[in-house]
Amino acid sequence: MWCVMGGNQSIRGVVYVEFLIVIIPLLILMFSLVQMSLFLSAGILTQLAANKAARSAMVILSDDHPDATYDEKALNQVGTGANGIEAYRNIPKKSRYHAIRLAARAPLIPVSPTLESATSESIEGALRNVGIFETGADLANMGWTWFFTGLGFVNGKDEYVATINPGDDVRVQVVFLYPCFIPIGRSLTCHSWGDLPKEDMDLIKLYGNQTAIAIFGMAGLRYVTLRAEAPIPRWDR
């Protein structure tokens, strides 16, 4: 009888060790899949943002209504100076460019972080970033889209353009900085600030508050840049 009990204890010990060996990789895999599903879902909304920006551009670029309050009077203008990414730097807030950018920012509000999700160390807290029914959270999410949503217009040669004329082959590009908050999973599926693609970050940094950008850059968080584009439909003038 003593031998039988000893055998049962040995079996239970082996099962316990096997459980410990298996459960850790499974948890890592689960956390990683949750994090990937979140930023892939955000990628769908980034594509929606590009579509919204393209459709808005078709209307805004040719808007010459007397009540229009755009700072620049020229039609079809989205940048200043010559073509290139610098054409979008220091653009006035009441510009056609920022009116189009506002249309791109709106679909990204649900996947922008709140203070609670940014400071949480749990999956439950990390998932609490949809605050569209709460005024405070809504304002916080809008602030994130202002700092970390990039917008550009590229022609058939993949060059950023400052002017878009009717019939031009131009696409809208939207780049969104998505923060990763799922414990463990964020370390395996997302990037540190310094490892983010330079091309994406150059577009995001053009008009974001540089102090805020520096703070988030030093915060040790993990991110993914999501890029989407959509062609601007042709319009009649």
Q: Output the pLDDT for position 208.
A: 60
Q: What is the pLDDT of residue 71?
A: 74
Per-residue pLDDT, 133: 38
pLDDT tens for 141-156 read 677 888 889 999 998 8
Alpha carbons 199 and 176: distance in angstroms, whole number: 12
Is residue 181 within 8 Å of 116, Cβ to Cβ?
no
Whether the CB-CB separation of 105 and 49 falls below 8 Å is answered with: yes
Residue 208 · residue 78 · CB < 8 Å: no
pLDDT < 50: residue spans in the chain: 1-4, 130-136
- What are the residue ranges spanned by the domains of the chain? 2-231
| Distance in angstroms (rounded) separating the CA atoms of residues 196 and 202 | 10
Q: Helical H runs in the chain?
A: 2-60, 96-105, 115-119, 123-126, 135-148, 185-189, 198-204, 210-218
Distance (Å, whole) CA 34 – CA 203: 28
Q: State how far Cα 137 lies from the chain centre.
A: 17
Rounded alpha-carbon distances, angstroms, from residue 200 to 121, 179, 227: 28, 14, 8
